[in-house]
Amino acid sequence: MTTFERIFLVAGLRVYRILCDHFNQLLDRGWCRSGCYLYKPNMEKTCCPQYTIRLDIHKFVLSRSQKRVLRRMNDFLLYDKKPKSHSKEKSSDSKSNCQATKQLQTSVNDSKSPIIQTEFKKSERSLRGTKKKQIRKERALQRMRDKGIDVDEVYFKFEAGIIVFQQKRIEKEFARRRTLHSYVLDNEATTFKHRLEIRLVSVNSEEFESMLNESFSLFEKYQSIVHHDEDRSLEGFIRFLVKSPLFSSEDETPSGVIIFSKQNIIPPTYALGSYHQQYILDDQLIAVAAIDILPRCLSAKYLFYDPDYDFLNLGTYSALREILFTMELSKYRPDLHYYYMGYYIDSCPKMQYKSQFRPSDLLCDYSFTWVPVEKCVERLRQSGKKFVVFAPDKSPPKQIPVKSVLCSYEWYVFNVGFIYSKKKGVVLPYGSLLRRPNFKETESFMEEYARLIGPLAKEIILYRTP
């Protein structure tokens, strides 16, 4: 059940309970969660449009900077080795394009994976001969024509053969790549200088309650040093990062604590819902990631960590571990193969790192379709506008009739003489609610609510007061 409100340039839902699947659908319409409050910015009016960003973990490729972060953590755990100087990791990527070769490539084999296709583009330059080589090739082709040989067929097979060779080489190189899982060390080893333990703890468990004060102390330290936020309280922490309206229709109940290891990243049984992923170094809590496990994605909500360990790039490292976690979850739930990183703001330097988890997509707030982040960033910077429609060729989803919005309505029934009253309630479509004699419409947000929520407005219940 929800209540709807507008606050400045944000639409908000105060949610009492919501199915994990329903919340997953709202994520795909640009909504985000803070405790039991769901919100969506007005993209056309806000000063900083916030676009939902996600990664398909099946396509994820580690960058050099991300590998360095993983090696840095492993060096610290194995040898207590710390970097001499610490700086934020940055990486850039470049693309090349050769139309003729691309057409040949498609003719030979158009079913290669997107990763291999990307690697193939990088090697296209090797297929371009020098001017002298091209002249010699043309002379050879002319001699073949003089002899009556079908030059076009021979030439195509020649070029196609080169492409097949290049693709096989790329496939071998790709097979030799280190996987994300290969960087995970066995936390049971006794030869390590440090021991890192990662726990998945349900926010509704007794184990979480036993760690609540320690988690809040870490949160206080992080907010004070990193964000210079002095307005902190335990109640605010619980409201922001602990309380959750999510529930599942499945039978599983959240386990108290799940400890990650190299052999057992995640057991096959688990429950959808809200969790804290705790990073414990030598029996000391150094980082906590608030996450939601949903039917089709793992949604990262917030991370706070001990600034004393900033040299370990815990922001990037925790994101990589969450991606690895999602990979393991997808083995048991094939539909769960997306990693959501919240909102992306191109003008905010602190959010630039999100686009480095490739290949990521941004949500078009017009058509609610996903577009590669590189294309979106290019559109944003070329247009100079704050809000950009990433997929103008796509049509927006069809709006649902406002009268089909599901509502809950309660009222009091008084006996003769008003000695006592009794509350009654009913759940019905908005169109039926308008026809009730004891209901008088005083709000003007129903059209906006139906537009922002979409088809889900016919399933989740909107609470309406008399």
List the beta bridge partners of residue 201.
Answer: 257, 276
| Tens digit of each residue's pLDDT, the chain (466 residues) | 677 777 768 999 999 999 999 999 999 999 999 999 999 999 988 888 999 999 999 999 999 999 999 999 999 999 999 988 755 544 333 333 334 334 434 443 444 444 445 544 555 554 455 567 778 878 887 888 887 777 776 666 666 666 666 677 766 665 557 889 999 887 666 789 999 999 999 999 999 999 999 999 999 999 999 999 988 899 999 999 999 999 998 755 555 566 665 544 554 457 899 999 999 999 999 999 999 999 999 999 999 999 999 999 999 999 999 999 999 999 999 999 999 999 999 989 889 899 999 999 999 999 999 999 999 999 999 888 889 999 999 999 999 999 999 999 886 555 555 555 556 788 999 999 999 988 888 888 999 999 999 999 999 999 987 6
State the pLDDT at residue 120. 47
The per-residue pLDDT for range 414-444, each reduced to its tens digit, is 555 555 555 678 899 999 999 998 888 888 8
Distance CA 58, CA 70 (A): 19
Domain covering 57-79+184-335 in this structure, CATH number: 3.40.630
For Cα atoms 372, 11, 249, give the angle at the middle one, nearest 5 degrees.
75
Nearest to 42 by CA among 96, 17, 3, 6: 6
Sign of torsion over alpha carbons 140, 145, 148, 153: positive
Q: What is the dihedral of CA 401, 403, 407, 410, to 10 degrees?
A: 170
d(CA 188, CA 196): 9
Of the candidates 277, 287, 272, the residue with the CA atom closest to the CA atom of residue 208: 277
Q: Report d(CA 91, CA 68) in Å as an integer.
A: 11
Contact partners, residue 154, CB within 8 Å, separation at least 6: 144
Note if the bond before 114 is cis, omega within 30 degrees: no
pLDDT of 98: 39
Dist CA 171 CA 146 (whole Å)? 39
Residue 103: what pLDDT?
Answer: 40
The domains of the chain are located at 57-79+184-335, 99-176, 398-466
- Neighbouring residues of 350: CB distance < 8 A, sequence distance ≥ 6: none
d(C-alpha 406, C-alpha 463), whole Å? 9
- The residues that bridge with 265 in the sheet, in sequence order, are none
